[in-house]
Amino acid sequence: MSVQEYLDNHLLSRKIEDAVNAAVRAKAADPVLFISNHMRKAIPSVITKVKARQILDSRGIPTVEVDLHTNKGMFRASAPSSDLTGFGETRYEAVELRDGDKGSYLGSSVNKAVKNVNEKISEALVGMDPTLQSQIDQAMIDLDKTEKKGELGVNAILAVSMAACKAGAAQKEVPLYKHIADLSGRHTLTLPVPAFTLISGGKRAGNSLAIQEIMILPIGANRFEEALQMGSETYHHLKAVIVDKYGAHGCNVGEDGGFAPNISSFREGLDLVKEAISRTGYNDRIKIAIDVAATNFCMGTKYDLDYKSPNKSGQNFKSAEDMIKLYRELCTEYPIVSIEDPFDKEDWEHTKRFSNLAICQVVGDDLLMSNSQRMKKAIEESTCDALLLKINQIGTVTEAIEVVKLAKDAHWGVVASHRCGETEESFIADFSVGLSTGQIKAGAPCRSERLAKYNQLLRIEEELGDDAFYAGEEWRESP
């Protein structure tokens, strides 16, 4: 027997003896169960195995799912997929690794990423303490060695990072949201205001609407449970409004679950949502947000609002100045409190000019890509005042926590966001509560991959009981 084996056995014997003595002192009714639980708490948990597989996201496109094992059990997580269905990469976000074999899922399979988890990442992480999230994430970053995680794939790294976070929470015997709050050093827990997608357009739907989404924020709710009810009721009233005006075929939905009637103008969509809100009777308790995603229809220095129309006349081009005027008018005519990506992702000048008008929250998505360097530039130049956080644009839980801190230190709003390619994974719900983001964007109040996030928030609110705090009117200033 080696010295190390002797020491390990001696330590185990001491722990067993301590457990027996504790059972005697406690006069345990079931000494065997008591000793078993005591030993389970006394022996630190380590990662024993990491196993990945290929699954399908909400669009039927492959993504990575991971089972991470410790002596506490198995913890599963899956990575969402970005808008990219090919294999190119953007300049600012982490890279999804896809196989490129056109004979398998049209080239979008993720067997390479799965193999990286099962071989390289598993070997690096086995034996590590799951509560040490930053060390786990750094080990994967060091193993990848590229700036944007292009060697192992962000889809591989993120799935492991989230699974490890769940394992860490289990080791500490606390809820996931509490563990995330501990990792960030936060002492507050806040249920976020949901931004429900009601109407889909842009690349997400087959209608002629240029902008990507029209959403509602039930900031007047008193609890998240009430906010979800308000969102659901408005969604179903909107369906009735659309059927009345366009017929049943107008109720087809986009990728995020929003309705996609054949509308072409901003005002036409906003009028439908305004009518649906009126029918609910909630009125001023519900506000409106829009995701313009203007990069999709920016043509040089102009914005083509008819870019999806099959019969476009070429007359509906707007300059950036025209767009600022339009946004000001819309915010006056409708209860719009938030606009996402109002200009092209590289048009910092006009985004800043519009943001400085302080008419509404200006959210950076394509503008920022959850990239800390672009965020720092936007903070220094006062370009926008809110971050749309997509954790797979960064790649690890630790880095996501860091960019949220960066945004909050700048007194920005933070919107924890889903992706167009989603799974039943509900991680961002706990993430939003643990970091008190104040806002969450997870799609329409329908489709299971979207409702997985909203339903998890219901469970968290119930678990917190009297300690549950819904951001509500403080949706931008949550602590």
What Rg do the C-alpha atoms of the chain give, in angstroms? 24
Say if residue 462 carries a ligand binding annotation: no
Say if residue 291 carries a ligand binding annotation: yes
Q: Which residues are catalytic?
A: 256, 390
d(CA 365, CA 363): 6
Q: Is the separation of the CB atoms in 288 and 335 below 8 Å?
A: yes
Q: Is the separation of the CB atoms in 393 and 370 below 8 Å?
A: yes
Say if residue 340 carries a ligand binding annotation: yes
Determine how β-strand 336-340 pairs with β-strand 361-364. Answer: parallel
Around 198, how many Cα atoms within 13 Å sit in the side-chain half-sphere?
34
DSSP for 135-164, written as a single string: HHHHHHHHHH-STTSTTT-HHHHHHHHHHH
Task: Look at the chain and count its residues.
Answer: 479
Q: Which residue has the tokens 């509308």?
A: 263
Residues 6+ apart with CB under 8 A from 29: none
Helix residue ranges per DSSP H, 208-319: 224-246, 266-280
Q: Which residue has the tokens 């989603």?
A: 422
Distances (CA, A) of 230 to 77, 151, 226, 253, 282: 30, 44, 6, 20, 8
d(CA 464, CA 11): 38
CB atoms within 10 A of CB 367: 29
Annotation: binding site for Mg(2+): 291, 340, 365
Annotation: binding site: 291, 340, 365
